Structure 1
Amino acid sequence: MSDPIAWADFEKVDIRVGRITRAEAFAQARRPALRLWLDFGPEIGTRKSSAQITRHYAPEGLVGRQVLAVVNFPPRQIGPFMSEVLVLGLPDEDGEVVLIGPDQPVPLGGRMY
């Protein structure tokens, strides 16, 4: 178990729901990855992410899916691609990422509390 944190520390992490609007293979990545474009609604807009999720997901099956992402990390350059958000997932029994998202449609940009 991790060390406890204050509620104020948790509130600093801005986790929002976005819809994947575009997904494609990221051939230039060192490890197999996909490039994702996510719509977080009018307040945040569209942001990009690089995600190492190729074991369970193909680009064509991701468009339209809602996922959770941290939207307030600084952008990170990954090869020729600027990743602007961190899409969240959990490891399966083999350590491969399984995406986290709502099980029912929710408004884009909704914040996780």
Structure 2
Amino acid sequence: MADQITFDDFLKVDIRVGQVMRAEAFPEARKPAIKLWIDFGDDIGMRKSSAQITKHYQPHMLMGKQVLAVVNFPPRQIGSFMSEVLVLGVPDVDGEVVLLKPDHFAPLGGRLF
């Protein structure tokens, strides 16, 4: 378990719901990944992410799916691609990423609380 944090610490992490609008294989990445373009609604807009999720997902499977992502980390250069948000997931029994998503439709840009 990680160190305890305060509720104020938690509030600093801005986790929002977005919808995958575009997804492409990212073969030039060091580890297998998929490039994602995610719409977070009017206030945040479209943001990009490189996600190492190739064990359970293929680009065509992700189109239109809602995901949760941290939107207030600084951008990170992944090879030739600038990743702007961190898509969230949890490990399956083999340690492979399973994406976190709402189980009902949620308005784009909705913040986790």
Report TM bin, short chain. Answer: over 0.9
Which residue is equivalent to 2:86?
A: 86
Aligned mates of 2:2, 2:80 — CA distance in 1: 35
Which residue is equivalent to 2:71?
A: 71
Aligned mates of 1:99, 1:90 — CA distance in 2: 7
Aligned mates of 1:64, 1:89 — CA distance in 2: 17
CA-CA distance at 1:2 after TM superposition: 2.1
Runs of 4+ more than 3 Å apart: none
Aligned mates of 2:3, 2:31 — CA distance in 1: 31
Aligned mates of 1:47, 1:76 — CA distance in 2: 12
CA-CA distance at 1:27 after TM superposition: 1.1
TM-score for the superposition, normalised by structure 2: 0.99
CA-CA distance at 1:6 after TM superposition: 0.8
Give me the CA root mean square deviation: 0.5
CA-CA distance at 1:3 after TM superposition: 1.8
Which residue is equivalent to 2:59?
A: 59
Structure 2 residue 93 is matched with structure 1 residue 97: no
Number of residue equivalences: 113
1:34 is matched by which residue type in structure 2?
I
Unaligned regions of 5+ residues in structure 2, if any?
A: none
Identical-pair percentage? 70
Aligned mates of 1:61, 1:97 — CA distance in 2: 15
Structure 2 residue 14 is matched with structure 1 residue 10: no
